[in-house]
Amino acid sequence: MNSQVEINTDQATPAESGANGAVLACRQLRKSYRQGNNELEVLRGVELEVKRGEKLAIVGASGSGKSTLLNLLGGLDTPTSGEVWVAGENLASLNANERGWLRNSSLGFVYQFHHLLGEFSALENVAMPLLIGKQSVASAREEARAMLQAVGLGERLTHKPSQLSGGERQRVAIARALVTRPACVLMDEPTGNLDRATAREIHKLMDKLNQEMGISFVIVTHDPDLAAALDRCLHLIDGKLERDWHEGDRV
């Protein structure tokens, strides 16, 4: 992996922070699913504030609601009640277009399975969010190339996802999430599908990009090593976020 590539930090300023310097926050967030006559209350008043540059782990048992929470924080789903604030904007106060724009400009997403577009090259996949953001093709390709170099894939620009290894595909997904210089990247089990050595490489890369670009990370993970290596680790228990009692005063 090429760690020598310089990222232009002049352009790396994350989107405006919200109140209290939070790039992402939620208040009294609740989410229930209706199944026939039954109501499944998954989130029961989640409170969260993610500061600029902070790396946060969310852990919890299978089915505790971690992906549900991440989807609400990313504006991909709507809460039953409560508020989500992204870069100082209350998502509920925006229309669908405005929400889409804010999502594209302020947030990045990385999932366990990369969700790259199979018919496009690595370069085209990474350039896509910039093109959606109405950037010119030439500058979108240039920034995508620089970001792929930053994640050590400068030699793989024209490869399609099927021509890349699992770790390389995940690095393309990370490059795609970071290329818009978002305030915060939301990750759902980003290395859950990779072997330990590759996962460790990806974790080091996330650290490097976090330090160089000041981007915040919210990472849902079952990996205790990754959770312990981040700034904070919160447990989703009974529909609420609780600090990790292993973390002492770090929360």
Ligand X SMILES: Nc1ncnc2c1ncn2[C@@H]1O[C@H](COP(=O)(O)OP(=O)(O)OP(=O)(O)O)[C@@H](O)[C@H]1O
Pair type for strands 240-243 and 232-237: antiparallel
User: In this complex, which beta carbon is closest to ligand X, that of residue 71 or of residue 180?
Assistant: 71
* Pairwise CA distance, residues 209 & 216, whole Å: 10
Helix (H) or strand (E) holding 100: helix 96-106
Helix (H) or strand (E) holding 224: helix 224-229
Asked whether position 191 contacts ligand X by CB under 6 A, the answer is no
- Tell which positions 124-163 bind ligand X, by CB under 6 A: none
* Pairwise CA distance, residues 21 & 146, whole Å: 29
User: In this complex, which beta carbon is closest to ligand X, that of residue 170 or of residue 180?
Assistant: 170
Asked whether the CA dihedral 163, 167, 172, 177 is positive or negative, the reply is: positive
Among 23, 29, 42, 107, binds ligand X (CB under 6 A): 42
**Which stretch, 6-14, 61-69, 136-144, 196-204, contacts ligand X (CB under 6 A)?**
61-69
How far are the Cα atoms of 25, 27, 71 from residue 81, in angstroms, in the given order?
14, 9, 14
CB of 181 to ligand X, least distance (A): 28
Asked whether position 221 contacts ligand X by CB under 6 A, the answer is no
Among 22, 68, 116, 219, binds ligand X (CB under 6 A): 68
User: In this complex, which beta carbon is closest to ligand X, that of residue 16 or of residue 47?
Assistant: 47
Residues that bind ligand X (CB under 6 A): 33, 35, 40, 42, 60, 62-68
